[in-house]
Structure 1
Amino acid sequence: MNRHRTALSALLAAAALLTGALAAASPSAAADPPSSFRPGQTPGFWTAERMRQATPLDVTASPGGARTAPVPAAPPTRVPPTSPTAFPQAGGAWTGGGAVVKTSGRVFFTFQGRTASCSGDSITSQNGSTVITAGHCVKYQGAWHTNWIFVPGYDNGNAPYGQWAATKTLATDQWAASEDMNMDVGLAVVAPLNGRTLSQTVGAQGIQFNGGYNKKMYSFGFPAAAPYDGTKLVYCSANTGKDFLLTKDHSMSCNMTGGSSGGPWFQDFDESTGLGTQVSVNSFGYNFLPNTMFGPYFGPEAKAAYDKAQTS
């Protein structure tokens, strides 16, 4: 364990030196705090086929073990739709319609030289252009992702409301500094599209901080690892609990897989309108505890990151 910590300290020190060198060489880099990044964009990069082939990014954890980002080993199979009136629901295709179909979507980016995917949600903000997701969906293993876009209402390679390119990605200070699993919250500010902001185009969900534990919640995402295939919006619903091991996260019975990371968790969700108050995001699962999802508690740290994003 000490050897791992020593190696990690050395890597962090090297990263700090590199960051300092880049900041000294670039005035624009120096203007941004360490908890944010301006991802590069390659016009036309995200074709329908490239989105379909993007590898789902997910995080698993084990007590005393390292986090990993597994690649699905088996080909996906389709999961039949489930009535959205079932509660609790451990995982099924959302067929209820409503606002959540437009505000939620898939996130695509380049990670370690490969295309990858997560999920995200449009939230109410001052700039009308803020997406919330998981911290590891903007920065992971010490590097910020590039070619970052949000595709609300994603439908099997189609982008019915367009591809929204990030001009800035952010994370909680704690995730940006050390990838603290308690603070796995990321955000993106996206550029206007066709003269309109994101919220003007697809709407936006409400958000709440310091809302407490043990609530009835719904979670949504686009899981892309088997048995799912990333083509449709999937949801879970349950009376949530609290992680009893490594974090202070919410916990929920849910079988969503890789690619669902960053998808929204709602309190006070109305199935008839598809509107709710977002209080967390899909974050990680323990590799020894199947069919259970964990999501960070939105406390003052998440609020601080949100305030930075909505005023950018």
Structure 2
Amino acid sequence: MTLGSATVAQAAPNPAAENARARMIDHWTPDRRAAAIPRDLVIDPRGLGYLKMPDGSLRPYGHQTAADATLRKGPPGSGDTDGPVISSMDPAAGDTIGDAKTFKATVTDAGSGVKSVNFVIQYPGNGPTQSFAAGPGGGDTWSVPLSGFSDGDWAWWVEAKDAAGKGGNSTQSPSVAFHVDTAGGGGTGGDGSGGSEVITNSPWLNDGFDGGAIQSAAGRIYFEMLSTRRVRGKIVEDWAGYVCSGTVVDDSNTADRSVILTAAHCVYDDVNKAFARHVLFIPNQDGTSVAGTDTDCSNDPLGCWAPAFGVVDVNWTQESFPANIPWDYAFYVVSDTGAHDGASAPSDSLESSAGALAINFGVPAFDLDGSTDRTHALGYSYSDDPNFMYCAEDMTVESGYGDWWLPSCGLSGGASGGPWVQPMNESSGSGPIISVNSWGYTNQPGMAGPVLNGTSAECIFNAARTEDFAFHADAVDGDAGAAVDCP
């Protein structure tokens, strides 16, 4: 349904709606969860939108033009068969560090350009290894800040891949031994603020604490969108499962609901013109007691929560990606009655149980010297299930569509709708949300986020806070939502 800007009356959800939400939780069988894929939207150099599949292939989105594989590669390389060159590793062989250190290496590739760099850390005594995605900094330096080292003799090496065709060329550096002395070692230990290091895609900082307010309030969203396919010359409609991310936000103490901020493409299908169905929100899934996503809500810290309906800007529904990029923000509304299942929670209210972050509808910092505009983007990437992942760097403006832009962010599919926090207090995992993960390009790294200040975002938020549950109690599939026409 479409609403004007007038305030609508509040009403408590009815028992029929509560029963429907209970059935929604039961809907997600093991097979259905396993089949759900990221709803990851990307744009190619021609300006065409695609849904990026888990295997990296591109499915046309809102059109029938097949993806051009040559447009997704880096520089052609003229038959490049040489891998990247790795040098200037820091720490160097024989160095002593403390319990924290920013690891660095110079990585170059004259033929096709560097595509990815990972730093592999080996625990003492030829122990297990752990890989961390490094981010590009000044010049050809790649780096990642690491902490939590214990005393002993460690080792590390660099694995790099270029952007040549057929999967690229790879290089692995020799192993470099270093020593850790937490009592008097060197190193570049930090104060928890994150500094100005570029983080492209790493697990959220929950070593030694519970991840803070952001990990508790953010979660994975399961949902289904209408899908159409041609069978023997006829169009057949079906529903397909997807995953996104979202965050519980402070809704100024509304009495009957909690509100989740996410991306509009995780709420409303702008191609098939339908709202999502069977929506399920799992806060703090990183804290699960098992190895990954399953169908048991009892092993997630706060269980699972079933939203009642979504709220988007009507402009998102009337256009198709990428023409509707400016309105890629939306909200799910969760009842304080009958929406919870699984592990016990402190309250029937999602916000009271998971906590919430504030939304900043003012102008955030961008294109500034220093680290004032340092922004953290977070989400539940499909490929890193069930880990809560993040990227962090100085924020700028995307020149093509006018969104906010994190040029090195490498969060993968499934992170869509996850929060952008600026400034982030890494010690407490808290800060105001200024945008959400929205889209990327097919041929370069980076993540775009919609502008919330000076747009309809606050109007849409207010509609989510006041929209009447009764309007959606008996909604049919594809109609459980409100498309708001803001002035």
Normalised to the residue count of structure 2, the TM-score between the two structures is: 0.52
Is 1:166 the counterpart of 2:297? The answer is: no
Is 1:211 the counterpart of 2:363? The answer is: yes
Paired position in structure 2 for 1:93: 203
Paired position in structure 2 for 1:33: 3
Paired position in structure 2 for 1:222: 380
> Alignment partner of 1:166: what SS?
coil
Structure with a larger share of its residues in strand: 2
Paired position in structure 2 for 1:73: 55
Relative to structure 1, is the Cα distance of residues 284 and 47 closer, same or farther in structure 2, using a 3 angstrom cutoff?
same
Relative to structure 1, is the Cα distance of residues 178 and 89 closer, same or farther in structure 2, using a 3 angstrom cutoff?
same
Distance apart, 1:238 and its partner CA: 0.5
8 Å Cα contact 2:359-2:434 kept in structure 1: yes
Alignment of 1:179-258 (within 5 A): 179=320, 180-192=324-336, 193=339, 196-214=348-366, 215-224=373-382, 228-245=383-400, 247-252=401-406, 253-258=408-413
Alignment of 1:1-312 (within 5 A): 33=3, 41=21, 42-43=23-24, 44-47=26-29, 50-73=32-55, 80=131, 83=146, 86=194, 87-96=197-206, 97-111=211-225, 112=227, 113-126=239-252, 127=254, 128-140=257-269, 141=271, 142-154=273-285, 155=288, 156-157=292-293, 158-179=299-320, 180-192=324-336, 193=339, 196-214=348-366, 215-224=373-382, 228-245=383-400, 247-252=401-406, 253-289=408-444, 291-299=445-453, 300-312=455-467
Point out which structure has higher relative CO (alpha carbons under 8 A, 6+ apart).
Answer: 1
8 Å Cα contact 1:110-1:145 kept in structure 2: yes
8 Å Cα contact 1:210-1:297 kept in structure 2: no
What do you get for the CA RMSD once the two structures are aligned?
2.5
Output the CA distance in 2 between the equivalents of 1:108 and 1:34: 29
Alignment-mate amino acid for residue 203 of structure 1: G
Alignment-mate amino acid for residue 397 of structure 2: K
Structure with a larger share of its residues in helix: 1
The number of residues matched between the two structures is 271
> Alignment partner of 2:47: what SS?
coil
8 Å Cα contact 1:129-1:198 kept in structure 2: yes
Alignment-mate amino acid for residue 204 of structure 1: A
Relative to structure 1, is the Cα distance of residues 150 and 173 closer, same or farther in structure 2, using a 3 angstrom cutoff?
same
8 Å Cα contact 1:123-1:207 kept in structure 2: yes
Distance apart, 1:310 and its partner CA: 1.7
Task: Give per-residue Cα distances to partners, 1:228-270, cap 9 Å, x unaligned.
Answer: 233110001100110111x111111211111110000001211
Output the CA distance in 2 between the equivalents of 1:146 and 1:288: 32
Distance apart, 1:69 and its partner CA: 1.3
Distance apart, 1:56 and its partner CA: 0.9
> Alignment partner of 1:69: what SS?
strand
8 Å Cα contact 1:182-1:296 kept in structure 2: yes
8 Å Cα contact 2:364-2:434 kept in structure 1: no
8 Å Cα contact 1:124-1:204 kept in structure 2: yes
Normalised to the residue count of structure 1, the TM-score between the two structures is: 0.79
Larger radius of gyration between Structure 1 and Structure 2: 2
Output the CA distance in 1 between the equivalents of 2:397 and 2:300: 35
Q: Percent same amino acid at aligned positions?
A: 27
Output the CA distance in 1 between the equivalents of 2:130 and 2:328: 28
Distance apart, 1:53 and its partner CA: 4.0
Distance apart, 1:79 and its partner CA: 7.8
8 Å Cα contact 1:59-1:284 kept in structure 2: yes
> Alignment partner of 2:352: what SS?
helix
Alignment-mate amino acid for residue 151 of structure 1: I
8 Å Cα contact 1:262-1:282 kept in structure 2: yes
